[in-house]
Copies of this chain bind each other. A is one copy, B any other.
Amino acid sequence: MSLDFRLVDPLIRTALDEDLPWGDVTTESLIDPNQENELAILLKQKGVIAGLSLMERVFKTLDASMSWNPLQQDGDYLEKGTILAKVRGNAQALLKAERLALNFAQRLSGIATLTHQFVQAARQGSDSVRVVDTRKTTPGLRYLEKYAVTMGGGFNHRYSLSDSILIKDNHLAMIQSAGRSLSKAILTARQKVPHTIKIEVEVDRLDQIPEVLEAGVDAILLDNMSNEELIEAVALIDGKAAAEASGGVTLERIAGIAATGVDIISVGALTHSGPRSTVSGDSQRSALADFSMV
């Protein structure tokens, strides 16, 4: 999968507008407008890289004639010190673009790296379980963050509220406050929505599973269950729907969850805590990557 820049360019534009509302007073007063330089992009911490083509796009948005030489590719797991790419062109444009390019790439690489860690850990418990993301993404960056999850070896859950039914706790509470049952609600929903839409339902008790299966669903989200409950839930579901574990999934717990036999494990932390995975105790931690002049 490659990035569709039609979806990304407005974000680059917004970000340039906020960082360069009317020019770069430092660069424009210091650097000869005709000077050229080359920057190397160094990885300062090991991990999975994501966003190389996005960095290229940022540089070329500032100066279309910039030359970009990528030495690695998105999804690669790389060691600290690796040179990711070299970029050569107008010195003013390089200086104006570097921070934004890093702000994008560090965030995406953080997500990819954390996803990779969860996937590796999950493999200890299951060869086939999917680690998937959630809708807990940064407002405006969902497309990029879901891309980063796939670069780290994860899978995407639904993209938005429009493309799949997921009946969650607050839906259920509101349905019941109106005096209706869950199974009736599921049937109603299926009669209304396009035949191309799947239905998933969140349950937090085992005794809800038979009713839900009866009503007919494509997947069941098992929320905040213990591993023992998950094992029982998988047995109850028995292949009649996909089983998704969710809630409280940590790097420490995920192998155990995977071993329960669920098909899918969703991890909100992939996107809402992404950068964390890539920072450690040392002082450079925020700089997953940085530029240095060649």
| Interface set of A (CB-CB < 8 Å, partner B) | 1-2, 4, 6-7, 10-16, 18-33, 35, 37-45, 47, 49, 61, 84, 86, 91, 94-96, 98-100, 102-107, 109-110, 113, 130, 132, 135-143, 146, 155-168, 170-171, 173-175, 177-178, 185, 188-189, 192-198, 200, 218-219, 224, 242, 244, 247-250, 263-264, 268-269, 272-273, 275-276, 278-294
Tell me which of A18, A105, A282 has the highest count of chain B C-beta atoms within 10 A of its own C-beta.
A18
Residues of B within 8 A of A35 (CB): 174, 177-178
Report whether B103 and A42 are in contact in the complex, using a CB–CB cutoff of 8 Å: no
Complexed CA–CA distance, A218 and B190 (Å): 14
CB contact under 8 A between A45 and B285, given known A162-B23, A195-B263: yes
Distance to closest chain B CB from A208 (angstroms)? 16
Report whether A294 and B86 are in contact in the complex, using a CB–CB cutoff of 8 Å: yes
Q: How many copies does the complex hold?
A: 6
Residues of B within 8 A of A200 (CB): 196
Report whether B289 and A193 are in contact in the complex, using a CB–CB cutoff of 8 Å: no
Report whether A95 and B20 are in contact in the complex, using a CB–CB cutoff of 8 Å: no
Complexed CA–CA distance, A166 and B37 (Å): 19
Q: Which 4 A-B pairs have the closest CB atoms?
A: A248-B283, A15-B139, A164-B196, A163-B163
Report whether A292 and B21 are in contact in the complex, using a CB–CB cutoff of 8 Å: no
CB contact under 8 A between A282 and B24, given known A113-B288, A137-B103, A142-B19: no
- Whose C-beta in chain B lies nearest to the C-beta of A269? B286
Distance to closest chain B CB from A165 (angstroms)? 5
CB contact under 8 A between A45 and B288, given known A140-B15, A242-B195: yes
Complexed CA–CA distance, A175 and B30 (Å): 7
Would you list 6 pairs from A and B whose C-beta atoms are within 8 A, ordered by A residue? A1-B23, A30-B167, A32-B178, A102-B291, A103-B272, A139-B141
Tell which of B27, B132, B141 touches A138, judged by Cβ atoms closer than 8 Å.
B141
Residues of B within 8 A of A285 (CB): 45, 269, 273, 275, 278-279
